[in-house]
């Protein structure tokens, strides 16, 4: 076991995968010699050579398009999109190509690629370095969508994603890279080295895609969250004193519906939290599923807490970010309903 | 400022519209045999002229002339002729089948048969094409069974793609034919990635990318050239310039660039233009590019100058946007007739044998069609299962799709 930040955990996952399988290649903007703007690929080029870890031109459609071609050949590309906000030029390649190659060729060709991309706000990144586009991926059949909330999960899920036979969108909440950020931006961040989930095995292990994890057992209300919002939800539960059960989805697609249903049947209440904008966000999907599967157990309407339906602002970041106060108010609201 | 006119927008127009006299005086046709053949390791800047000329082998008399001639034997040329004739007969039958309601849609190759049929012969087993919807000659010339193609076109119970794809969007890894998307240009950059992978693995295989004149305007075309140029990928970047993108003439995508081939020059990619209706020229240029790729010298861009004689698809009527007689005025002729003439001149073929071969080929196509129709057509007979809708979205079916399949009653 070692203590790792989420950056080190992600790097370790790629290192372990490249070591075990010559077909794993890593590339993207600034990922080669320099090791990525968040340093996730640092040292991989020196260790594995520049034909297995290299810099790419600033062309996301080119990065994803070539990765698809490499996968058709038989490689397992794990590429970095520098910010999730930059994936839009590649959206055609992701949605109409990567997601459908297995289906349209009836398995003659497949597309085992991983697109890693830092997601979410909290770093004063403004509207083009803060977005959470996960719902644009969960709406696409043929993709898998993974969002880890801590270093241990990040490594196990990334190795599982690289080994997966289908395309995986791997969204890394960038505000969690260095510590479990709970939304209290005015307090010092606890580093991962002081957190249990910063303890990460150095070797190979996987966490299955499609399995949620309960981060806090509780009986009053179920909070469904993923990524940064898991830590915000935990803080909100502590601060309100409401005995919330906090589910960390880890994978949005496939979704661990059983864990959600079991919890809501127990608590009778549900709050869904995400940083992405509210309308047509993934919370709408969760809320629908909860009412479809748990309607007769519900004591109160399902409540969503999300980013406002506006672009992500710069100076007003903390008024936009759904912090523990907003999540806490939702918990109170759903308990009083 | 006062001495300047106000601005005006330039919108290119084709030379002629319906009702006018076809005019190809803007297509400069060099004499067959007049374009030099550089060594494959020549520096791209030393062969820039080849992006503006047209490499031709067959002259008006049917002779093979110049430095690009002399690569193919009688038997190889006869096989090539039969592939083109087969593709033409196949197209004719399938257009008819679409009109009879046996399928929803079809796209034919009329006038462009030489491009894909000759190109296939410059590749070897294991190489990979990333085709568009108008390169079925790659399959025909590689011996892919016609009945399989028809099963796909009819979306019947033996459709290798289980009814999921539009007709003619074939896929065959075994025959080096990447699954056709139906999107435009996406495959171009994928081909570059496949070629990069072959180089990463120190393999010997090469890739071929395919695109039409109109789709070169897509950003994926330009991404592909950047990546191919940067990593010197072993890929042949093919542009089939058949003059028309549905109703839009090639000038809308080409803009101020003299030729499509010239797009490669800014990327430092050797670029050639070739007579796309000349089987020998297409083969010779493809072979040159394949050798460059296999010798690790990097990508080559090839523009095939040809003409789409037929409609874009069975959903299109070209008489609405170009003169009906335009194809007859096309100065590079018919690829089948030109190769036939050459073979007769060589003493390897005759009018009688041609007529006989035509009959045999039509018969073979009809036999394949009968066999395919035995497995059903789009609205009659055997068809893929509703279950096939839900299979194959992922390697392993996730629970939510399983629930939906059950809801659908399967």
Q: Answer with the one of A151, A167, A200 that is the final residue of a domain.
A: A200
**pLDDT computed for residue A189 by the predictor:** 86
| A205: in domain | no
Contact status of B34 with chain A (Cβ, < 8 Å): no
End position of a domain, from candidates A162, A179, A200: A200
Instruction: In whole angstroms, give the CA distance from residue B49 to residue B154.
Output: 46
Q: How many other C-beta atoms are found inside a 10 Å radius of the C-beta of residue A98?
A: 29
**Domain limit, last residue, from A200, A232, A264:** A200
- Give the separation between CA B72 and CA B82, rounded to whole angstroms: 15
Q: Tell me the H-state helices in B186-323.
A: 186-200, 219-231, 251-254, 279-294
Between CA B118 and CA B335 the distance in angstroms is: 11
* CATH number of A12's domain: 3.40.50.970
Assess if residue A208 is contained within a domain: no
The verdict on A35 and A161 lying in the same domain is: yes
Q: DSSP states of B317-372 as a string?
A: -GGGTS-TTHHHH-TT--HHHHHHHHHHHTTS--HHHHHHHHHHHHHHHHHHHHHH
Which CATH number characterizes residue A332's domain?
3.40.50.920
Enumerate residues 119 to 138 of chain B having a beta carbon within 8 A of any beta carbon in chain A.
128, 130
Rounded to 5 degrees, what are φ and ψ at A254? -65, 150
Q: Do residue A239 and residue A332 come from a single domain?
A: yes
| Helical (H) or strand (E) element with A101 | helix A101-104
The total number of residues shown for chain B amounts to: 410
Q: Based on the domain organization, do A189 and A228 belong to the same domain?
A: no
Contacts of B59 (CB under 8 A, 6+ apart): B31, B32, B33, B65
Q: How far is B104 from chain A (nearest CA, A)?
A: 17
Dihedral pair phi/psi, residue A277, rounded to 5°: -60, 155
- Token pair recorded at residue B52: 């503006």
> Average pLDDT, stretch B182-204?
97
Helix (H) or strand (E) segment spanning residue B304: strand B300-305
- The predicted-structure confidence for A124-154, as pLDDT tens digits, reads as follows 999 999 999 999 999 999 999 999 999 999 9
Listed by number, the residues of chain B in 291-350 with a beta carbon closer than 8 Å to a beta carbon of chain A are none
**Mean pLDDT within B305-320:** 96
Catalytic residues of A: 129
* A195 and A282 belong to one structural domain: no
3-state SS class at B189 = helix
Same domain membership, residue A133 and residue A262: no
Cβ proximity of B74 and B343 under 8 Å? yes
pLDDT in tens, chain A (337 residues): 899 999 999 999 999 999 999 999 999 999 999 999 999 999 999 999 999 999 999 999 999 999 999 999 999 999 999 999 999 999 999 999 999 999 999 999 999 999 999 999 999 999 999 999 999 999 999 999 999 999 999 999 999 999 999 999 999 999 999 999 999 999 998 999 999 999 999 999 999 999 999 999 999 999 999 999 999 999 999 999 999 999 999 999 999 999 999 999 999 999 999 999 999 999 999 999 999 999 999 999 999 999 999 999 999 999 999 999 999 999 999 999 8
Partner A contacted by B223 (CB < 8 A): yes
Please report whether residue A207 resides in a domain.
no
Structural domain span for residue A129:
2-200
State the Rg of chain B over Cα: 22
Q: Measured between alpha carbons, how far is residue B227 from residues A63, A69, A173, B213 in Å?
A: 9, 12, 29, 20
Residues A263 and A151 in one domain: no
Q: Is residue A89 part of a domain?
A: yes
Residue found by looking up tokens 């399995």 in the block: A211
Mean pLDDT of B244-250: 96
Does residue A319 fall inside a structural domain? yes
Q: Which residues of A touch B393 (CB under 8 A)?
A: 102-103, 141-142
Q: Please report whether residue A206 resides in a domain.
A: no
Over residues B46-103, the pLDDT tens digits come to 999 999 999 999 999 999 999 999 999 999 999 999 999 999 999 999 999 999 999 9
Question: CA A303 to CA A50: how far, in whole Å?
Answer: 49
Fold for B44-314+327-379, please state it.
Answer: Rossmann fold (3.40.50)
Please tell me whether the interface predicted TM-score (ipTM) of this complex is above 0.90.
Answer: yes
Asked if A92 has any chain B CB less than 8 Å from its own CB, the reply is: yes
DSSP string for A21-55 = -TTEEEEETT-SSS--TT-TTTTHHHHH-TTTEEE
CA atoms within 13 A on the CB side of B83: 28
Assess whether A171 and A40 both reside in one domain. Answer: yes
Domain ranges for chain B:
44-314+327-379
A250 and A115 assigned to the same domain? no
Q: Does B224 lie at the interface with A, CB-CB under 8 angstroms?
A: yes
Using CA atoms, how far residue A300 sits from A221, A222, B145, B403, in Å, is 10, 12, 62, 27
So what's the pLDDT on residue B74?
Answer: 98
B221 in contact with A, Cβ within 8 Å = no
Chain A nearest-CA distance from B190, in A, is 4
* A chain contacts of residue B162, beta-carbon cutoff 8 Å: 106
Q: Are B285 and B276 in contact (CB under 8 A)?
A: no
What pLDDT score does A1 carry?
A: 86
pLDDT per residue over B9-25, tens digit each?
999 999 999 999 999 99
- Binding-face residues of A in 153-172 toward B, CB within 8 A: 165-166
| Cβ contacts of A65 on chain B, cutoff 8 Å | 186, 188-190, 192-193, 220, 223-224
Q: Is the pLDDT of residue B2 over 80?
A: no
Number of domains in chain A: 2
Contact flag B207-A69 (C-beta cutoff 8 Å): yes
Q: Does A290 share its domain with A242? A: yes
Q: Are residues A147 and A182 in the same domain?
A: yes
Span B323-348, mean pLDDT?
96
The pTM score is 0.97
Cis peptide before A198 (omega within 30 of 0): no
Q: Does A255 touch chain B (CB under 8 A)?
A: yes
Is the same domain home to A134 and A223?
no
Map B72-100 to HEC letters.
Answer: CCHHHHHHHHHHHHHHHHHHHHHHHHHHC
Q: Least CA distance to B193: which residue of chain A?
A: A66
Q: Which of B161, B199, B400 sits opposite A105 (nearest CB)?
A: B161
The answer to whether residue B164 neighbours chain A at the CB level (below 8 Å) is yes
Q: Give me the residue label for tokens 């005025």.
A: B329
Is-contact A333 A299, C-beta < 8 A?
Answer: no
- Looking at residue B108, its pLDDT comes to 97
CB-CB under 8 Å, A96 with B161: no
- How many angstroms separate the CA atoms of A287 and A301, rounded? 9
Average of per-residue pLDDT across B207-216: 98
Same domain, A283 and A243: yes
Q: What is the pLDDT of residue B1?
A: 57
């Amino acid at each position: 076991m070692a203590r790792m930040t989420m950056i080190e955990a992600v790097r370790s996952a790629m290192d372990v995968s490249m070591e075990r399988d010559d077909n794993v290649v890593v590339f993207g903007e600034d990922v080669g010699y320099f090791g990525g703007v968040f340093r996730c690929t640092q040292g991989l080029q020196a260790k594995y050579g520049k034909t297995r870890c290299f810099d790419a031109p600033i062309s996301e459609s080119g990065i994803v398009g070539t990765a698809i071609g490499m996968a058709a050949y038989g490689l397992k590309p794990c590429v970095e999109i520098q910010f999730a906000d930059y994936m839009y030029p590649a959206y055609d390649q992701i949605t109409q190509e990567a997601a459908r190659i297995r289906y349209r060729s009836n398995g003659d060709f497949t597309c085992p690629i991983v697109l890693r991309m830092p997601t979410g706000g909290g770093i004063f990144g403004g509207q083009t370095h803060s977005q959470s586009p996960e719902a644009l991926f969960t709406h696409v059949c043929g993709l898998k969508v993974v969002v880890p909330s801590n270093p241990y999960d990040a490594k196990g899920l990334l190795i599982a994603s690289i080994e997966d036979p289908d395309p995986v969108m791997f969204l890394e909440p960038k505000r969690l890279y260095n510590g479990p950020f709970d939304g209290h931006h005015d307090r010092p961040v606890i580093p991962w080295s002081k957190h249990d989930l910063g303890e990460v095995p150095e070797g190979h292990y996987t966490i299955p895609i499609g399995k949620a994890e309960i981060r806090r057992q509780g009986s009053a209300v179920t909070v469904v969250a993923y990524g940064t919002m898991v830590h915000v939800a935990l803080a909100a539960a502590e601060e309100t004193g409401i005995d919330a059960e906090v589910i960390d989805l880890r994978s949005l697609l496939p979704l661990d519906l059983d864990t959600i249903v079991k919890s809501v049947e127990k608590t009778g209440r549900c709050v869904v939290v995400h940083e992405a904008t509210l309308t047509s966000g993934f919370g709408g999907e969760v809320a629908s599923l909860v009412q479809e599967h748990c309607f007769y157990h519900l004591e109160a309407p399902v409540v969503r807490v999300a980013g406002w339906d506006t672009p992500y602002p710069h100076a007003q970041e903390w008024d936009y970010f759904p912090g523990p106060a907003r999540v806490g108010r939702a918990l109170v609201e759903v308990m009083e309903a | 400022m006062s001495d300047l006119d106000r601005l005006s927008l330039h919108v290119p127009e084709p030379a002629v519209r319906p009702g006018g006299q076809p005019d190809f005086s803007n297509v400069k046709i060099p004499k067959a045999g007049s374009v030099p053949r550089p060594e494959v390791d020549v520096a791209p800047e030393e062969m820039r002229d080849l992006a503006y000329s047209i490499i031709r082998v067959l002259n008006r008399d049917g002779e093979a002339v110049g430095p690009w001639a002399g690569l193919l034997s009688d038997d190889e040329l006869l096989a090539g002729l039969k592939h083109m004739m087969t593709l033409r007969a196949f197209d004719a039958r399938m257009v008819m089948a679409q009109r009879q309601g046996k399928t929803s849609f079809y796209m034919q190759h009329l006038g462009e048969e030489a491009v894909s049929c000759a190109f296939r012969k410059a590749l070897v087993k294991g190489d990979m094409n990333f085709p568009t919807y108008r390169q079925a000659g790659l399959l025909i010339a590689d011996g892919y069974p016609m009945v399989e193609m028809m099963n796909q076109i009819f979306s019947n119970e033996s459709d290798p793609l289980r009814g999921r794809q539009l007709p003619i969007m074939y896929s065959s890894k075994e025959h080096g034919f990447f699954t056709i998307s139906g999107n435009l240009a996406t495959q171009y950059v994928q081909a570059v990635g496949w070629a990069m992978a072959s180089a990463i693995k120190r393999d010997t295989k090469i890739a071929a990318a395919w695109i039409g004149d109109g789709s070169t305007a897509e950003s994926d075309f330009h991404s592909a050239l950047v990546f191919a140029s940067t990593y010197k990928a072993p890929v042949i970047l093919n542009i089939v310039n058949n003059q028309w993108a549905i109703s839009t003439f090639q000038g809308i995508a080409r803009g101020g660039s003299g030729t499509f081939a010239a797009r490669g020059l800014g990327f430092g990619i050797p670029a050639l233009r070739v007579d796309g209706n000349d089987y020998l020229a297409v083969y010779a240029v493809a072979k040159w590019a394949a050798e460059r790729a296999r010798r690790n010298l990097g990508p080559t861009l090839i523009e095939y100058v040809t003409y789409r004689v037929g409609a874009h698809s069975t959903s299109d009527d070209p008489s609405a946007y170009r003169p009906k007689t335009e194809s007859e005025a096309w100065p590079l002729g018919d690829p089948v007739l030109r190769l036939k003439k050459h073979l007769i001149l060589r003493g390897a073929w005759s009018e009688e044998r041609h007529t006989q071969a035509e009959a045999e080929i039509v018969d073979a196509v009809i036999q394949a069609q009968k066999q395919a129709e035995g497995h059903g057509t789009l609205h009659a007979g055997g068809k893929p299962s509703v279950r096939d809708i839900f299979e194959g979205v992922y390697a392993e079916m996730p629970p939510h799709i399983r629930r939906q399949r059950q809801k659908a009653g399967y």
